[in-house]
Structure 1
Amino acid sequence: MTGPHAPLSLLIDNDTGIDDALALAYLAACDHVDIVAVTATPGNVDADQVAANNRALLRLCGREDVPVRIGARAPLVADLVTTPETHGPQGVGYAELPAAAFPGGPGSVVGDDAVAHWVEAARARPGELTALLTAPLTNFALALRAEPRLPWLLKSVVIMGGAFYYPGNTTPTAEWNTHVDPHAFKEVFAAYEEAAQAGLPDEQLPILCSLEATERYELRPDLVGRLASSSGAEPERVHEDDAAGARSTSSNPLIRYLSDALRFYFEFHRAYDQGFIAHVHDYFAAGVAAGTLEYRTRAATVDVETEAPLLYGTTVADFRGLWQRPANARVVTWNDPEAGFAELVERVGHFARRYRNG
């Protein structure tokens, strides 16, 4: 593992989601990361299912203490579109959710006050909290409406979303998160443009992990076996010749959960002619937020198309100042997937050993 790393307090907003689940398990495995709260935005599945998925995984990771909150239940303007074909009907592929994840069972507390929770936390701890946003930006846009000083109150913001000079994964030009709620993305980047105009330091501009960076994190089936080996569990084999829907037989519950979730993701990517792989977008964004993965950025002015039907949800980045508007984001231009996957295997594998050791 890389390290040591400075302690970090993290607010997470996600739409769990297979790659969101991998990111959350990874962050739970990071000793230096204090997860202050996990809030649910509708996207891959509806908000209640997102909260259930978060509850289940936090409980599996021994983090029942982390509050789980629900905010918006629909995008700001558009109708909600979910993606069961990508992440499965429950959002986590073939992984099974324990009954305790649902209302009435033990586990992390679920409330409907996600936006208020973010605002209160940021006001109480100015300059201390890092925000990780791996979902459509609906909740964050609402939080900025409630507290326009949020860009100054947060220490750092990391966003997974967008595509620049790169094909979209939902339409020919649009990435999934921005396509689900382009109006929220537009509001967020407008708020940061206004903040930049007012003198917000560059280091507090959002770090934007767009598709050209996240699709370099192309996870292959052998990594599941490496995770199992690192955890000390029995060998785990996931292969493209396996029958569709095959399940893990691992006795390690975290390895089994991740294996079953990722198998669905492998099968989805294969069905769309991308190979038996998984683009784990949100894991990379989580590593950026945690300070454990290497990357480089370039300042840009980012805007989002919300009107033109052919380009709905498309993000545009002006890297050259042609708009003569201040930069409102730092777009990731380079990363190191090989080192990043080695970090994932070692840290999550080490974390999963606790099941073997009781």
Structure 2
Amino acid sequence: MAKRILLDVDTGIDDSLALIYLLASPDAEIVGIASSAGNVSAQQVAANNLAWLDVCKAPDIEVALGSARPLVIPLVTTEETHGPKGIGYANLPESARTLSTRTAADLWVDTVRAHPGAVTGLVTGPLTNLAIALYREPELPRLLDRLVVMGGAFNYAGNTTPTTEWNISVDPEAAKVVFDAFSGLPADRCPIVCSLDITETIEMLPAHVARLAAAAESVPVETISPDDARTVRSSASNPIVRHFSDAVRFYMEFHRDYDQGFLAHMHDPFAAAVALDPSLLVTRPATVDVELTGTLTRGMTVADLTGMWGRPPNAAIGVRTDPDVFFDRLIERVGRYARTLYPAETI
């Protein structure tokens, strides 16, 4: 049976591919999409989610609007990383689909109550919506089958401050609420955490985009080069390939501008793949907490791996993966999906 996935995203370039990956996966059933403020505003995130569902010819999937701001602090967004609309250079058609009348927090609560033990939660943005849902339904950790979180960094430099990963830094209070809520659960029910130290090994290169386009039978050959002018856009015949290529080009340019190479870290699609197949990630149990008061370390995720705090583990943090296995799976699934939705002869 397909896994029921409740997806909470701040779409976002890599969140976009996470959504496409799940839509392309026959072993996934997206039961709802919560739109979180993070990379861009919650309203823009919701618009991006609806637009991607159109491009992917997806069935009706409920898209709910999340909180407009974090629990305590003002919202900070990152258009310099993801573009003014959060999707790089992609220009998606405006969707005629409508947002849910439920809030994102209500979507979380209602969904897990309707399917106790049968929903996997996947959060690839800040944890605000889930934290609010936990206030409304404290039993939510026991009602979920599993939670997968993209966030944090353990013994690894942050990407927002020297110690802090972006999703956690947007709403550290929410992250602490979530990790605290999962304390005392059996090991196989603790959240799987795909942290920065793992996801920054998931480096998408121009060759991966070319392979994806070829798998989709898109023409002409999809080429993204560091030598291209910033005005260059994709001419791919396949709309999924074209829009994603334009999105990821922006992301690659951003990474190059910050001396990380002409590449794009695919944090969120990797977390989506782990939600469907946890065997992709080797994990170890840890007690995770979030620093809220440190002058230099606010938002830092700290993992007790040896029981020094005397508290039970509340997370399974990733320690090792094989990026090639992930990229082969992503290219095969998304390529086949794009090719099926948009056969070459009909484009």
Give the TM-score range, shorter chain. Answer: over 0.9
State whether residues 65 and 99 of structure 2, in contact with CA within 8 Å, keep that contact through their aligned partners in structure 1. Answer: no
Matches within 5 A, 1:140-159: 140-159=130-149
Q: Is residue 135 of structure 2 the alignment partner of residue 137 of structure 1?
A: no
Q: How many residues align?
A: 343
Tell me the residue number matched to 1:78: 73
Tell me the residue number matched to 2:58: 63
Tell me the residue number matched to 2:7: 12
Amino acid at match of 1:171: T
Tell me, what secondary structure is at the counterpart of 1:299? strand
State whether residues 55 and 64 of structure 1, in contact with CA within 8 Å, keep that contact through their aligned partners in structure 2. Answer: no
State whether residues 64 and 107 of structure 1, in contact with CA within 8 Å, keep that contact through their aligned partners in structure 2. Answer: no
Tell me the residue number matched to 1:265: 251
CA distance in 2, matches of 1:35, 1:209: 20
* TM-superposed deviation, 1:251: 1.4
Amino acid at match of 1:136: P
Matches within 5 A, 1:233-244: 233-234=218-219, 235-244=221-230
Q: Is residue 207 of structure 2 the alignment partner of residue 222 of structure 1?
A: yes
Q: Where does structure 2 lack aligned partners over 5 or more consecutive residues?
A: none
Tell me the residue number matched to 2:343: 356
CA distance in 1, matches of 2:343, 2:278: 26
2:286 to 285, 300, 308: 300
* TM-superposed deviation, 1:64: 4.1
Matches within 5 A, 1:164-313: 164-193=154-183, 196=184, 200-234=185-219, 235-291=221-277, 294-313=280-299
Tell me the residue number matched to 1:32: 27
Quote the RMSD (CA, aligned, Å): 1.1
Tell me, what secondary structure is at the counterpart of 2:32? strand
CA distance in 1, matches of 2:236, 2:98: 26
2:314 to 316, 328, 331: 328
CA distance in 2, matches of 1:69, 1:306: 28
Matches within 5 A, 1:87-126: 87-100=82-95, 106-107=96-97, 109-126=99-116
State whether residues 209 and 245 of structure 2, in contact with CA within 8 Å, keep that contact through their aligned partners in structure 1. Answer: yes
Q: What fraction of aligned residue pairs are identical, expressed as a percent?
A: 52
Q: Where does structure 1 lack aligned partners over 5 or more consecutive residues?
A: 1-5, 101-105
State whether residues 287 and 293 of structure 1, in contact with CA within 8 Å, keep that contact through their aligned partners in structure 2. Answer: no
> What CA deviation, in whole Å up to 9, does each residue of 1:3-31 have, x standing for no partner?
xxx42100000000000001101110001
1:318 to 300, 304, 307: 304
User: What TM-score, normalized to structure 2?
Assistant: 0.97
CA distance in 2, matches of 1:43, 1:230: 32
Amino acid at match of 1:281: H
* TM-superposed deviation, 1:108: 5.1
> What CA deviation, in whole Å up to 9, does each residue of 1:280-306 have, x standing for no partner?
100110000011761110000001111
Superposition misfits of 4+ residues, deviation over 6 angstroms: none
CA distance in 2, matches of 1:293, 1:338: 14
State whether residues 245 and 264 of structure 1, in contact with CA within 8 Å, keep that contact through their aligned partners in structure 2. Answer: no
CA distance in 2, matches of 1:42, 1:111: 18
Amino acid at match of 1:315: T
User: What TM-score, normalized to structure 1?
Assistant: 0.94
Amino acid at match of 2:73: A
Amino acid at match of 2:239: P
> What CA deviation, in whole Å up to 9, does each residue of 1:300-341 have, x standing for no partner?
000111112211111100000011111000001111101110
State whether residues 58 and 108 of structure 1, in contact with CA within 8 Å, keep that contact through their aligned partners in structure 2. Answer: no
